[in-house]
Amino acid sequence: MTEQQPYEEFHLDALKEIGNIGAGNATTALSNLLSRSIEMSVPEVNILPFDEVPYVVGGPEELVVGIYLQVEGEAPGSLMLLLEKEDAIKLVSILMTGEIPDDVSDKNIEDMEQSALMETGNILASSYISALSDFTRLGMAPTVPALAIDMAGAILEVILLQVGDVSEHVLMIGTEFSYDKNKIRGHFFLIPEDNSFSKILKSLGIDDGSN
């Protein structure tokens, strides 16, 4: 997005609905995958200065697991699944053993677990994007995901690069998911590219005033 084109409240509402549809479908997929009931928050649309982006998950030095992929097609962008490290360990433990170990604080995420997390990211992203694609009737497909375990600031930089050349802000459609009253919490972020906004809005029958 550009600074010259501020979004009105109803544009943001439309983007929230996009988040609702995508993340709703991804949450259902996660529920099925884990055979657990996963809850989802009401999506938030945030237009953030670069510096504030890492605070969506506790600041630039918070240790997190990021599963990142790009969205290709008519409305390109990127998608990030972000979990604090302990939450990622709990999630992968349910996947692989069916239960959460008592203490996960000093556990590492091994290669096998990374693969499982990436595959989880793949399934969730595909669910998110296919719901979005169906709803907007815009062709979109996710790339194969990549995973990193590191400081939130370093991981989230990758989404700033996408918009960094044209903007000082990034628009993120974020949804939090949780299992069993915050035993596991995580976030989905959809970050549409600059030109994707008007396409998405137009597909919903909303004129963003750009033409």
Partner 1 sequence: MAVIKIGIADLNVASGSDVLRTAGLGSCVGVTLYDESTKIGGMVHVMLPESPKNKSGYKKAKYADTGIPELISKMEEKGCNKSKLVAKIAGGAQMFSFSGEESKLLKIGERNAKACRDILGAHKIKILADDTGGSYGRTIELYCETGKLMIKTVKEGVQEV
Minimum CB–partner distance for residue 148 and partner 1 (Å): 5
**Amino acid in the structure at residue 17:** E
Sole binder of partner 1 in the list 161, 180, 183, 207 (CB under 8 A): 161
Contacts with partner 1, 25-54, as mask; x by CB under 8 A: -------------------------xx--x
Contacts with partner 1, 49-78, as mask; x by CB under 8 A: -xx--x----xxx-x--x-x-x--------
By beta-carbon proximity to partner 1, the closer residue of 42 and 141 is 141
Minimum CB–partner distance for residue 105 and partner 1 (Å): 15
Taking phi first (over 0 means left), then psi (-120 to 50 degrees means alpha), and beta for anything else, what does residue 202 get?
A: alpha
User: Which residues from 134-153 bind partner 1, rule CB under 8 A?
Assistant: 143-144, 146-153
Residue 46: beta bridge partners?
172
Query: ∠ at Cα 136 (8, 123), nearest 5°?
Result: 110
21 binds partner 1 (CB under 8 A): no
160 binds partner 1 (CB under 8 A): yes
The two most distant CA atoms of the chain are separated, in Å, by 57
DSSP reduced 3-state for 188:
strand
Structure letter (DSSP) for residue 79: E
Sole binder of partner 1 in the list 157, 193, 194, 208 (CB under 8 A): 157
Number of neighbouring beta carbons within 10 Å of residue 169: 17
Report whether 207 contacts 201 (CB < 8 A). Answer: yes
Number of neighbouring beta carbons within 10 Å of residue 155: 24
Minimum CB–partner distance for residue 48 and partner 1 (Å): 11
Nearest to 132 by CA among 186, 172, 74: 74
By beta-carbon proximity to partner 1, the closer residue of 112 and 144 is 144
Minimum CB–partner distance for residue 161 and partner 1 (Å): 5
DSSP reduced 3-state for 191:
strand
By beta-carbon proximity to partner 1, the closer residue of 132 and 147 is 147
**Sites of contact with partner 1 (CB under 8 A):** 50-51, 54, 59-61, 63, 66, 68, 70, 143-144, 146-158, 160-162, 164-165, 168
